[in-house]
Amino acid sequence: MLSATNVTKRYGKTTVLDAASLAIEPGMVTAVIGANGAGKSTLIKSVVGLIRFEGSITINGMDVARDGRRAREMVGYVPQDPAFHSDLTVSETAHFYANLRRLPATRALAAIETAGLEAHAGKKAGALSGGMRQRLALAIAQLADPPVLVLDEPAAGLDVSARLDLRRLVAEQRTAGKAILLSTHWLEDVPYVADNALVLDQGKTVYAGPATGLSAASAAGSKLFLRLNGHSPEAMTLLERMPAAGSIARSGDWVVVSCAATDKARMVEALVGAGIGILDFRVEEASVDAAVLHLQSLRGNLS
């Protein structure tokens, strides 16, 4: 449904995207990962035809460079920071964009329902939370029921609850058979939302393959900060026996555990199961920069 081959973008002598390739079938999600400046948005903008590029991109067999208008008709695009008229309601916004695209009012209603915004249809767009704004942007992107969705940093600026909500939305669209390309710098979200991953660093591909493989390759994990009810010594002894735990240290009233992003819940479950009360906790999420460095070192060892 979406294929990109050796996509390259240069500005003068500077190469910001160097021969990136991917392929997405219907009902699949590919995540493009990287720190700021890695080339994620450049690839996204190339796919939706906003900038010129070298290489080849086709959407349902249509060449983006040669037949951009028809190719774009197959794509629903959600930009990183969607802008709406703040004084229009959710319903009015959906109808406004439907009219621009000469679509019937029934499509606006259907898009609102698909995005789960029925209860907020009368709310002004300017009063929406970050998560609800992303829902509205997704509703607008789906007005014409496109087979391909392209999401540029959809989780940027969202809190944990809204990010979980976004995961569910992406999963629903995958189940509906959409081919989905999304960019993100939230490494922890990837195994939950994507089938495949493309990791970029300064425009170059560091990793391309299954999202589960990226999770396993990423030695750079999370840090779990736990404030315990006077049971720090027992907790540290328990955690030291867990293979998934990395370094363990005390910082005042807190126990700090380094672990893979996917093992955080296991740490908490072990402590609760042992009767150790947790007064408070916070998470320092896995660093994309550190993961990229680790992936580069793995690639260097294999070459």
- Map out the domains of the chain as residue ranges: 2-217, 222-285
Same fold for the pair 2-217 and 222-285 = no
Multiple choice CATH, 222-285, 3.40.50.300, 3.90.1150.10, 3.30.1960.10, 3.30.70.100: 3.30.70.100
d(CA 65, CA 162): 35
Residue 35 has pLDDT above 90, yes or no: no
Tens digit of each residue's pLDDT (9 = 90 or more) over 267-300: 788 888 888 888 887 777 666 666 666 666 555 4
Tens digit of each residue's pLDDT (9 = 90 or more) over 36-90: 888 998 999 999 999 999 999 999 999 999 998 899 889 999 887 788 899 999 9
Q: In the chain, pLDDT over 90 holds for what percent of residues?
A: 31
Domain at 2-217, CATH class: alpha beta
Q: Average the pLDDT over 208-222 and give the result.
A: 68
List residues bridging with 209 in a β-sheet.
Answer: 197
Residue with more model confidence, 213 or 76: 76
List residues bridging with 281 in a β-sheet.
Answer: 226
Residue 265 has pLDDT above 80, yes or no: no
